[in-house]
Chains A and B, each alone.
Chain A
Amino acid sequence: MSSNSSPEKVQKTTGLHVGTIEPGVKKVDAIISMDHVHRQFGGLTAVDVEHLEIPRGAITALIGPNGAGKTTLFNLLTGFDKPDTGEWTFDGRNIAGVPAFKLAQMGQVRTFQLTKALGLLTVLENMKLGAKNQKGESFLRSLFPFLWKKQDDEIAEKAMRLLTKFKLDAKKDDFAASLSGGQRKLLEMARALMSDPELVMLDEPMAGVNPALTQSLLDHILDLKKEGMTVLFVEHDMHMVSHIADWVVVLAEGRVVAEGPPTEVMKNPAVIDAYLGSHQDVDLGTVTGRIPKISE
């Protein structure tokens, strides 16, 4: 029938937790550890996390209904928002309240739900912008090309290697605005990798991507794990989550209501009620009674 093979089974990382699986369970090796994080907007509690640890070197998915606090939690962790109370560490260092740009320099990068590929810069310029410790970015040194040209060329080489991997090399001199939505997602991911981060945080990486491109995007995320990075991503697509995530954290009304390997979490009745729905693997044509009508 179809010549397309089903996606290969992904090697999952197991044994990430210490003790019984429940919300707030300790991890063997946590890259991020949060305590008593609370964020309120007026009367609405957006985030209320007692304790949460993100395992190093694994792919963790953050799921939950809309308004559950996923993006707020992301913004808090990446310095784009300040909590009302709470502390967390990254690699053992206290980072609550550290501004976003410093966290990026420390090895924590993020992408955004609404892609922020800088459309008015070329693809290559976007990539170069992602590199760290650029001598030419200091105002005084920028005036004397001989001080930064060599480094800039090295950065360009690294950019081209990444662009080739993401199949964007042919577009290097095009303005990023001329790329399709899916290509811009790839560019944002490639750009985030320019700084050799330890932790990559992706906010809905599949949103707006053509389902046929999903497989290649997933492969890129799996590559991140192969190269030793930790990945934390927010997603709604449960097929994607169960396919690549080693660990799943379920957020609802700002609290962690469940966490564990995807197979466990997706069987959790509370999660099914609040989030997955009971029709996960059912054809809606049956549910709505349309199928008999159409096969007439």
Chain B
Amino acid sequence: MAENTTPVIHVDNLIAGYLPGVNILNGCSIEARQGELIGIIGPNGAGKSTLLKAIFGQVNIRGGHISLNGDDITGLKANKLVERGVGMVPQNNNVFPSLTIEENLQMGIFQEPQHYNERLEFVMSLFDELKKRLKQRAGSLSGGERQMVAMGRALMMNPKVLLLDEPSAGLSPVRQDEAFIRVSEINKAGVTTIMVEQNARRCLQICDRAYVLDQGTDAYTGTGRELLNDPKVISLYLGTLGT
């Protein structure tokens, strides 16, 4: 597999937190190379969502660096990051409920309206079910459907990297499976993706490489398959119920 030597996202020893004096991330390092689907799993409070939010400029960074294709983006505000090609799909409040699906997607590309048609075609190819419902108000959609629209919106700007915050959260088993398959399809279409997940098992089944975060640092890393079969990871993070 030919590899680009500069990773798309490189997080180096990041220290960050919300409240003064309390750090959630204590020296966390991860990397996403071109075309990879990276999973971030770990217990609650480990800093998974915080890591994503830090990459997206929404948390106070107190140490370490983040780079996008080699350029330092540490501490840049979210709007600047979007301009540079970082797409974020938050867990909650991820659509504009009073706007239609089509308008939500338009919001994703307002900075480059000239590319609207080709991007819309691309997103529709991935989200077939949305094609017939473009005029529907986003507020009337279920949680899983909103996830789809939010992902579509982020993809409209042709992001260099897509950040997903727990895409399966709160969904029923069948919708969760659909969400994971969808993420896999998006990544296969060429989008470098970093995915934070609570459903560790499913996440590891589809990702190329993954990091296990614990207490704010990257405790383990390996390919998805390696971690799925690692007894330490199983006992600490996956639990034995699903086996």
Number of A-B contacts (CB under 8 A): 118
Q: What's the minimum C-beta distance from A210 to chain B, rounded to whole angstroms? A: 4
Interface centre among A207, A211, A213, by most B CB within 10 Å? A211
What residues of A have a CB within 8 angstroms of the CB of B114 in the complex?
Answer: none
Answer whether residue A180 sits at the interface, using C-beta atoms and an 8 A cutoff: yes
Whether A285 pairs with B172 at a CB distance below 8 angstroms is: no
Answer whether residue A262 sits at the interface, using C-beta atoms and an 8 A cutoff: no
Known contacts A64-B172, A66-B175, A276-B174; A215 and B240 CB within 8 A of each other: yes
Q: What's the minimum C-beta distance from B107 to chain A, rounded to whole angstroms? A: 24
Answer whether residue B2 sits at the interface, using C-beta atoms and an 8 A cutoff: no
CA distance A137 to B140 in the complex (A): 44
Answer whether residue A150 sits at the interface, using C-beta atoms and an 8 A cutoff: no
Flag B149-178 by CB within 8 Å of A: 1 or 0 each.
000000000000000000000111111111
Contact of B241 among A1, A181, A214 (CB under 8 A): A214
Whether B239 pairs with A181 at a CB distance below 8 angstroms is: no
Answer whether residue B189 sits at the interface, using C-beta atoms and an 8 A cutoff: no
What residues of A have a CB within 8 angstroms of the CB of B171 in the complex?
Answer: 66, 236
Flag A174-190 by CB within 8 Å of B: 1 or 0 each.
00000011100000000
Whether B1 pairs with A296 at a CB distance below 8 angstroms is: yes
User: Closest B-chain residue to A179, C-beta based?
Assistant: B45
Whether A67 pairs with B44 at a CB distance below 8 angstroms is: no
User: Closest B-chain residue to A63, C-beta based?
Assistant: B172
Stretch from A12-20, A82-90, A157-165, A237-245 that touches the partner = A237-245
CA distance A64 to B144 in the complex (A): 14
Whether B241 pairs with A208 at a CB distance below 8 angstroms is: no
Whether B43 pairs with A210 at a CB distance below 8 angstroms is: yes
Whether A285 pairs with B225 at a CB distance below 8 angstroms is: yes
Whether A240 pairs with B241 at a CB distance below 8 angstroms is: yes
What residues of A have a CB within 8 angstroms of the CB of B208 in the complex?
Answer: 294
CA distance A6 to B43 in the complex (A): 21
Answer whether residue A290 sits at the interface, using C-beta atoms and an 8 A cutoff: yes
Known contacts A2-B235, A294-B224; A215 and B241 CB within 8 A of each other: yes
Summarize B's interface: helix, strand, loop or mixed.
helix
Answer whether residue B20 sits at the interface, using C-beta atoms and an 8 A cutoff: no
What residues of A have a CB within 8 angstroms of the CB of B200 in the complex?
Answer: 211
Flag A237-270 by CB within 8 Å of B: 1 or 0 each.
0111001000000000000000000000000000
Answer whether residue B60 sits at the interface, using C-beta atoms and an 8 A cutoff: no
Flag B44-58 by CB within 8 Å of A: 1 or 0 each.
110000000000000
State the interface size on chain B (CB cutoff 8 A): 42
Known contacts A180-B44, A294-B225; A66 and B144 CB within 8 A of each other: yes
Answer whether residue A145 sits at the interface, using C-beta atoms and an 8 A cutoff: no
State the interface size on chain A (CB cutoff 8 A): 46
Q: What's the minimum C-beta distance from B53 to chain A, rounded to whole angstroms? A: 16
CA distance A209 to B46 in the complex (A): 12
What residues of B have a CB within 8 angstroms of the CB of A180 in the complex?
Answer: 43-45
Answer whether residue B96 sits at the interface, using C-beta atoms and an 8 A cutoff: no
Contact of B206 among A5, A240, A285 (CB under 8 A): A285
CA distance A1 to B170 in the complex (A): 33
CA distance A81 to B235 in the complex (A): 41
Contact of B184 among A2, A7, A64, A284 (CB under 8 A): A284
CA distance A231 to B201 in the complex (A): 28
Q: Which of B198-237 contact A (CB under 8 A)?
A: 198, 200-202, 205-206, 208, 223-225, 231, 234-237
Answer whether residue A274 sits at the interface, using C-beta atoms and an 8 A cutoff: yes
Whether A277 pairs with B180 at a CB distance below 8 angstroms is: no
Q: What's the minimum C-beta distance from B158 to chain A, rounded to whole angstroms? A: 23
Contact of A67 among B142, B177, B206 (CB under 8 A): B142
Q: Which of A191-246 contact B (CB under 8 A)?
A: 207-215, 236, 238-240, 243
Known contacts A276-B173, A284-B202; A1 and B239 CB within 8 A of each other: no
Whether B172 pairs with A275 at a CB distance below 8 angstroms is: yes
B residues neighboring A (CB under 8 Å): 1, 43-45, 142-144, 170-178, 180-181, 184-185, 188, 198, 200-202, 205-206, 208, 223-225, 231, 234-243
4 nearest A-B residue pairs (beta carbon): A277-B174, A210-B43, A211-B239, A181-B44
> Would you list 21 pairs from A and B whose C-beta atoms are within 8 A, ordered by A residue?
A4-B240, A7-B240, A67-B142, A180-B43, A181-B44, A182-B44, A210-B43, A211-B238, A211-B241, A212-B43, A215-B239, A277-B178, A284-B177, A284-B205, A285-B206, A285-B224, A287-B177, A287-B181, A288-B185, A291-B225, A296-B1
User: Knowing that A66-B175, A180-B45 are A-B contacts, what are 19 other residue pairs whose CB atoms are under 8 Å apart, sorted by A's residue number?
Assistant: A3-B235, A4-B235, A6-B240, A65-B174, A66-B172, A207-B170, A211-B239, A213-B43, A214-B239, A238-B173, A240-B241, A274-B174, A276-B174, A279-B177, A285-B225, A288-B180, A288-B181, A294-B225, A296-B1
A residues neighboring B (CB under 8 Å): 1-7, 63-67, 180-182, 207-215, 236, 238-240, 243, 273-277, 279-280, 283-285, 287-288, 290-291, 294-296
